[in-house]
Amino acid sequence: MKTLKITVAFLAIIFAFSCEDQLDVVPEDNVASNTVFGSFATINGAVVGIYSKNQSGDLNGNPQLMSDFMSDNVNFVGSFPSLQEIDQFETLATNASIDNIWFDGYELIGAANNIIVNLPEVSVDDVTGLTEADKTVFVAEAKFLRAITNFQLVNLFAQPFQFSNGTNLGIPLVTQPFEGGDISEFQLERSTVNEVHAFIEQDLLDAAAALPENNGVRAEAGAARALLARLALYREQWAEAADLANQVITSGEYTLASDYDFYDDNPNSSEHIFVVVNTPTDGPQENAGSDEVYVNFYNPAPGGRGDAPFSQELIDAFAAEAGDRRFSELSQAASDAGGNDTFFTTKYPDIVNNASDGMALRITEMYLIRAEANLRNGSSVGDSPLNDINLLRTRAGLGNLASVDLDAIALERRKELCFEGHRRMDLLRNNLNLRPDGGAASAPGANKVIFPIVEDETTNNPNITQNPGNF
């Protein structure tokens, strides 16, 4: 099982791992730093606190929403000025939404660094119940969470690998513990995309080697391999991407769900490799949780804001082939915030409890990665691209294709992963405009298809380089 379900509460600190669906812990930032490493419970609480930070809507929620409406999947009709700026490719360094992503991301990285740097120095002789094996797994979990966050940040604040073979500037790499999300104290320049990717890769390799294959409700080895597969795909390392995706598929830990019920508050589905699980009792959070973002923006009124309906282009993509269950079962007709008749996704259905989950990694993506990487590489690791795509089409209620090409795979990725935050990077890495007839502003390599480095950082760090055109 591949899920995380955490309740942030001030009730108790557990003294051992649990394979139950819910953990009651004190998050890391509510435990005094000088006592974090004094007991097994507080160490465990510090690690679970990193997971809690990952539930922030600024790390899981808003980035996916922005990736959808910056691309051609969502017709954004919302009224928030900071989101309108992003939608119109007019993002400024003072934009509050990207400021939150930057600082929440580095806050998580600082908390992860606290475990990665300091826990190895803790003697098991001084902490009752702590073993060297526990330490190894705790550090591996922190590395996985640091990796997935660095990956999120570099995808948003830097041009993709394809822009200049990764020699372009990425994000600052922070490896030391610190409190809060302000990294200007380190006065760091941005590392290149290649350097950031190498750092992420090493974190994930370490995590994959140390995490259990089945880690109950927490990150496990398969999640690290799955994110490595995505990284390899983004870097056009086709053989590695196919092999890593195949490892996840053949591990026996995950299976393709027979239907789409896993979106309906079913975090225990074998479909999931890693999911941000939200419950009605989650919180309080410093910022809106990911569940609030998904429910508010992706659902029509009553219950949601009605700000993020299907784009006409996505509706047309589904309409081109009748009978696709990914549309008939995962959409609803409704009016958007502007009063227009359209369709909304039902991938985040829990409006009543405000507790829809965020899809981070699922097995379907691994089939899509394997198919694309094999086709580009002229290989058939695990299975042929045609068989992988037809497997997904069968679940969707569609007939088998007689042959498959890159366009067919891209279309299946779009229809399968829409509203999960993949489309923007899929277009950019394939040198495609983010919007049909979007013009220069949304073209690959344009200044504002990525975010500016936030003003708070550039003001206090004279060594950091701003992205061009984003002042």
270/366 Cα distance (integer angstroms): 13
Contacts of 269 (CB under 8 A, 6+ apart): 257, 261, 262
**Higher local confidence (pLDDT), 354 or 31:** 354
The 10 Å Cβ neighbour count of residue 332 is 11
Q: Which domain holds residue 386?
A: 3-279+286-449
Position 55 in a domain = yes
Position 415 in a domain = yes
Position 159 in a domain = yes
Is the predicted pLDDT of residue 375 greater than 70, yes or no? yes
Position 48 in a domain = yes
Position 468 in a domain = no
pLDDT (tens digit per residue) in 57-99: 999 999 999 999 999 999 999 999 999 999 999 999 999 999 9
Are 318 and 415 within 8 A, CB to CB? yes
The 10 Å Cβ neighbour count of residue 68 is 27
Query: For the chain, what is the mean pLDDT?
Result: 90
Structure confidence at residue 437 as a pLDDT band (50, 70, 90) = confident
- Residue 123 maps to which CATH number? 1.25.40.390
Structure confidence at residue 287 as a pLDDT band (50, 70, 90) = low
Are 70 and 86 within 8 A, CB to CB? yes
Position 228 in a domain = yes
241/231 Cα distance (integer angstroms): 8
197/154 Cα distance (integer angstroms): 9
Are 204 and 140 within 8 A, CB to CB? no
Position 469 in a domain = no
203/201 Cα distance (integer angstroms): 5
Is the predicted pLDDT of residue 9 greater than 70, yes or no? no
Is the predicted pLDDT of residue 285 greater than 90, yes or no? no
pLDDT (tens digit per residue) in 101-150: 999 999 999 999 999 999 999 999 999 999 999 999 999 999 999 999 99
Position 464 in a domain = no
How many domains does the chain contain in total? 1
Distances from the Cα of 132 to the Cα of 123, 139, 177, 471, angstroms: 9, 11, 21, 49
**Higher local confidence (pLDDT), 384 or 437:** 384
